Structure 1
Amino acid sequence: MILSEPLLRMEGISKRYGGAIALKEANIAVRPGAIHAVLGENGAGKSTLIKIMAGVVAPDEGRMLLDGNEVSFASPAAANGAGIVCVFQELSLIPDLSVADNIVISNPPLRFGMIDRKRQRQIAEEALARAGAADIHPSSLVKDLPLSRRQMVEIAKALARKPRLMILDEATSALTQSDVEKVFGVLKQLRAEGMALIYISHRMHEIAQLADDCTVFRNGRSIESYPAGSKSDQQVVELMIGREYTNVFPPKPMQPRAATPVLSCRDLSWGDRLSGINFDVRPGEIIGFGGLDGQGQRELLLALFGVLRDLKGEVAIDGKPVALKSPGEAKSGEISMALIPEDRKTEGLMLPMTVRENLSIAALDRVSRNGVIDRAAELREIDELLKLLAIKAATIDMPVASLSGGNQQKVVIAKWLMNRPRIILLNDPTRGIDVGTKQEIYALLRKLADAGAAIIFYSTDYDELIGCCDRVLVMYDGSIIRVLEGNEINERELISAALNIDASQAQQRIAQ
């Protein structure tokens, strides 16, 4: 097999931010008609690499060649003009504009000096269909779409620019499984048409399904490039983290937990999204919620945290019924609950503010005296959490937006741990973060449970449910349809319950 010449080659690329080295002598070559996976932990240099490709930042050293000719891009518009388009993990859509407006925003079709609305809609429909999202109406406002559909619009927006090289940074991390399958089909078709694609994901099974070539980054350096499938997952992970990768999940306790539940739900219902929810969680337990995405898991967490109105049924804390009317009541001293949200960028952090401000915001009453922040107490609390979660930040007075994705997620978790919660709700907390940071979060969850916290954990990753949880409650159409314990917590049983079929049928689906 004769491999094609690279469409894009980067040689000896280095980039510094003050005293921090983001990239050092990095190299990569991307072929047309191939999907090139870029792998590495958060903070390994991947984001800086693609920002240089996309014209967002300029390298300090090294060179970039497109079709064998040296190029440099002063802006994203210049990179787009050369055929390089990036779908970043942080969405670039404008919420108050329509889907069609967002898709053509950089180059709207004009007629007599005015935007040609008919042509704009046609372009949007074509781009959405090409992205596998023809069901999204071009006139819909972006703010009215769920996160997974917004991500599909972002991909359609990139395709509308007719790229030669498309970069996808964790583009499936917010998608439902149905949309992931559609995107995979789209990417394979684009590859067959000769497009070059760079694909960044922490989901190893996605890399196995899609990639032709792989490059591993660690500490700002390109460690190794190799043909996809030539290394085992364990070998790849060890290249990424620079050490042997074992004991991904901490051991589960052998002894049964205390009998008295800290939180109980009885016949909890909300509109047509939740119906007859019944479960208990005890101190020291990690309870997982599984099932296909969109079966009411997120709504249940929001209900428990006092976000939803007009709930029916009963929630009890320590056996006493409570009315959770607001997040403020949920996190109050008597209940002491915390919610780690799904989208750290929009729901968990204030990106322009500092690490210190983000850590303190949920626990100001703990570090304040008579309405004035006790700086010494605040710094003691922050220092303790920085060590507990191994948060890597040059200074706590730097903007939290400048941290890697994994460290941002740690800040979200640390912010709520500052309140010393007894009940911790987690909504897909490891989405879009690297394997090393995931391992640290798994260990932290078990440590918090061992210290007596009750943890309710929704994840779209079956491996996490299997490895982390003492019990898994599988939801289907807004109801809990099965409770798995012990050896029942396995992929076959999870899939069968998620699809509401028997296990023998699920085994056939796995085999397919």
Structure 2
Amino acid sequence: MTLSEPLFVMEGISKRYGGVVALKDADIAVRSGAIHAVLGENGAGKSTLIKIMAGVVAPDEGRMLLDGKEISFSSPAAANVAGIVCVFQELSLIPDLSVADNIAISKPPLRFGMIDRRKQRQIAEEALARAGASDIHPSSLVKDLPLSRRQIVEIAKALARKPRLMILDEATSALSQADVERIFGVLKRLRAEGLALIYISHRMHEISELADDCTVFRNGRSIESYKAGTKTDQQVIELMIGREYTSVFPPKPEQRKDRPPILSCRDLSWDGRLSGISFDLKPGEIVGIGGLDGQGQRELLLALFGVLRDVKGGIEVDGRRVTLRSPRDAKSDAIAMALIPEDRKTEGLLLPMTVRENLSIAALDRVSSRGVIDRALEERQIDDLLKLLAIKAATIDMPAAALSGGNQQKVVIAKWLMNQPRIILLNDPTRGIDVGTKQEIYVLLQRLADAGAAIIFYSTDYAELIGCCDRALVMYDGRIVRELAGAEITEQELVGGALNIGAHQAQQRIAR
């Protein structure tokens, strides 16, 4: 088989869940030795497509071909045997086991009926090296690794199965820039070795750098396949959303300088990870938090929301000193703070519970009296939020797990808006969601700011900090090393602060 012939083909694939059509007559052909990007908004059918490829669900109609022969998979294990392995956006690792245990968990090497620990470690070391992560120790517990390193272990786990076709679903969404570049190198090497790769990402620059072929999905249908580089980003986005794509970021209103701060931090420090953090946040202002991943941004948001213990320094709200011992203190009426967490699946939602229950859970005291929920009031507030955030749900009594990733993220945001917060903390809220939903969130943030909310917005995407924020605080090694405002918020300044170097040196790095 030559590299130009398809290794894996799906023709006329359809899948329904009750009355909901997830896929309709979908087609895709994947070549060996090529990276095939699958593009589309959340809810376009991408997740269902790869679940069918990986043997998680069976199609209702259509057929799949591997090496020109028709196949079907009764389970993910059957797909693995055929050489098809998927790295899902939601991690499948067991936190309390070691990296080596996780990598070899589906088929551990045995010796005299017992796990051969030496061989298992060797398998893990080889897989980690192939994933460009030799610095991760096989004996490390997964729970002790940051989210970005866990994602790399997930990729190593897939490579240990020696796949012919590897599917990566938002596999870089949790990675630092350094890790992303490392993974890019790994994927390019795997492509050169003849592996077929399906790559799903909402980051257009990643698609431009990696992809050889692209297929766009919209509303469960495959709209168009094309060679990478033959369409502009604007054209691709318009194929994805089915309409002309206007400006990504809403215009920023002129800031009123006479407003007193609603939130002030004074010399905030914690456990060696935060040191001397001081800043003010005014009503109607969106302040971005930048810097490389793992420089204390997450800890800062957790400290402000009362999650961390023994935080040193002072926090003032409306000019008076407050003590935040718990999230309950932070979300009280006197402070009215909300935190949109980093990982919607594990920190933001109770996936088996309904959309209704997830939306109400943080505001039960607002929709109940003497322990009894006022269902009419609850439904009015939920209906208002569904309309405000354009949440697509067949019914509010469906489980949150059944929503697309973008709609799940909207539910996380809506849940906290039920409390009518004055101060909103966002931890990388657009990670792993599509461009259309991102744009809706940008517009929502500006509307909340226009209504008087004060917003702290941590993002790993420089374009978001530039496009959304009135000011940006760049963190390095637990400190704020640079404060930028207005036209000062540029890629050069953000990169310079992130690397703790001058803007001229940052410009030279960008140019390279």
Using structure 1 for the length normalisation, give the TM-score: 0.99
**Deviation per residue, 1:383-421 (Å, 9 max, x gap):** 110000000000000000000000000000000000000
Superposition deviation, residue 6 in structure 1: 0.2
Contact 1:258–1:282 (CA under 8 A) maintained in structure 2: no
Residue of structure 2 equivalent to 1:89: 89
Per-residue deviation, residues 224-278 of structure 1 (Å, max 9, x unmatched): 1011111111110000000111121010012425421000001111121111111
Q: Which amino acid aligns with 1:406?
A: G
User: Counterpart of 1:58 in structure 2: which amino acid?
Assistant: A
Q: Which residue of 1 aligns with 2:352?
A: 352
Structure 2 CA distance for aligned equivalents of residues 497 and 91 of structure 1: 31
**In 1, distance between residues paired with 2:276 and 2:448?**
29
Give the Cα–Cα distance (whole angstroms) in 2 for the partners of residues 506 and 58 of structure 1.
Answer: 50
CA distance in 1 between counterparts of 2:143 and 2:296 reads: 20
Alignment pair present for 1:164 and 2:164:
yes
SS of residue in 2 equivalent to 1:215: strand
- What amino acid is the match of 1:363? A
Asked if the contact 2:295/2:476 (under 8 Å) is kept, the reply is yes
What residue in structure 2 maps to residue 51 of structure 1? Answer: 51
CA contact (8 A) 2:3 2:33 kept: no
For residue 290 of structure 2, what is the aligned residue in structure 1?
Answer: 290
Cα deviation code 1:93-118 (max 9, x no counterpart): 11221111111111111111111111
Mapping of residues 333-348 of structure 1, within 5 Å:
333-348=333-348
Q: What is the Cα deviation at residue 293 of structure 1?
A: 1.2
Deviation at 1:17, TM superposition (A): 0.5
* Superposition pairs of residues 148-159 of structure 1, within 5 angstroms: 148-159=148-159
Q: Say yes or no: does 1:271 pair with 2:265.
A: no
8 Å contact from structure 2 (residues 350, 358) kept in 1: yes
| Cα distance change, pair 74–292 in 1 and its aligned pair in 2 (3 A) | same
The answer (yes or no) to whether the contact 1:212–1:228 under 8 Å persists in 2 is yes
Counterparts of 1:158-197 in structure 2, within 5 Å, are: 158-197=158-197
Report the equivalent of 1:127.
Answer: 127
Aligned-pair CA distance for 1:429: 0.3
Report the counterpart of residue 471 of structure 1 in structure 2. Answer: 471
Distance in 1, matches of 2:257 and 2:245, equals 30
Cα-to-partner distance string for 1:257-310 (whole Å, 9 max, x where unaligned): 542100000111112111111100000000001111111111100000001111
Whole-Å separation in 2 of the counterparts to 1:292 and 1:339? 21
Residue aligned with 1:224, SS: strand
Alignment of 1:129-144 (within 5 A): 129-144=129-144
State the distance in 1 between where 2:254 and 2:320 align: 29
Query: What residue number does 2:237 align with?
Result: 237
Q: Which residue of 1 aligns with 2:68?
A: 68
- Equivalent positions of 1:329-478 (< 5 A) are 329-478=329-478
CA–CA separation in structure 2 for the residues paired with 1:45 and 1:131 = 28
Q: What are structure 2's unaligned runs of at least 5 residues?
A: none
8 A contact 1:86–1:167 mirrored in 2: yes
Q: Using the alignment, how far apart are the partners of 1:85 and 1:3 within structure 2?
A: 20
Distance across 1 between alignment mates of 2:189 and 2:354: 43
CA contact (8 A) 2:296 2:478 kept: yes
**How far apart, CA to CA, are the structure 2 residues paired with 1:28 and 1:268?**
52
Q: Distance in 2 between matches of 1:107 and 1:370?
A: 54
Find the counterpart in structure 1 of residue 306 from structure 2.
Answer: 306
Q: Distance in 1 between matches of 2:324 and 2:465?
A: 27
Which residue of structure 1 lines up, in the alignment, with residue 493 of structure 2?
A: 493
More moved, 134-143 vs 414-423: 134-143
Aligned equivalents of 2:120 and 2:482: distance in 1? 47
- Does structure 1 retain, via aligned residues, the 8 Å contact 2:3–2:32? no
| Number of matched pairs | 511
Q: Counterpart of 2:439 in 1: which secondary structure?
A: helix
Displacement of 1:178:
1.3
Deviations 1:403-442 (A, max 9, x none): 0000000000000000000000000000000000000000
Provide closer, same or farther for how the CA distance between residues 258 and 24 of structure 1 changes in structure 2, counting only shifts above 3 A. Answer: farther
- How far off is 1:378 after superposition? 0.8
Return structure 1 stretches of 4+ with deviation > 3 angstroms.
Answer: none
**Mapped partners of 2:222, 2:49: distance in 1:** 10
How far apart, in 2, do the equivalents of 1:392 and 1:223 lie?
Answer: 21
What is the CA distance between 1:3 and its match in structure 2? Answer: 5.6
Give yes or no for contact 1:257–1:283 (8 Å, CA) kept in 2: no
Question: Does the residue aligned with 1:364 lie in a helix, a strand or coil?
Answer: helix
Are the equivalent residues in 1 in contact too, given 2:286–2:468 (CA < 8 A)? yes
8 Å CA contact 1:127–1:159 kept in 2: the answer is yes
Please give the secondary structure, in 2, of the residue aligned with 1:266. Answer: strand
Please name the residue that 1:212 is paired with.
Answer: 212
Structure 2 distance, partners of 1:3, 1:186, is: 19
The CA distance in 2 between the partners of 1:283 and 1:124, in whole Å, is 51
Query: Per the alignment, in what secondary structure is the counterpart of residue 391 of structure 1?
Result: coil
Contact map agreement 2:255 2:285 (CA 8 A) in 1 = no
Q: Which amino acid aligns with 2:478?
A: G
Tell me the TM-score normalised to structure 2 length.
0.99
Q: Percent identity among equivalent residues?
A: 83
Is the 2:286–2:449 Cα contact (8 Å) retained in structure 1? yes
3-state SS of 1:507 partner: helix
Unaligned runs of 5+ in 1: none
- The whole-number CA distance in structure 2 between the counterparts of 1:486 and 1:108 is 55
Contact 1:257–1:285 (8 Å) recurs in 2: no
Q: Distance in 1 between the 2:460 and 2:426 partners?
A: 12
Residue 6 of structure 2 aligns to a residue in which SS? coil
Secondary structure of 2:361 counterpart: helix
Q: Alpha carbons of 1:134 and 1:3: their partners in 2 closer, same or farther (altered >3 Å)?
A: closer
Match of 2:511 in 1: 511
Tell me how far apart the structure 2 counterparts of residues 168 and 39 of structure 1 sit (CA, whole Å).
12
Q: Does residue 7 of structure 1 match 2:13?
A: no
Q: Residue 81 of structure 1 aligns to which amino acid in structure 2?
A: V
Partner Cα distance (1:88, 1:500) in 2: 34
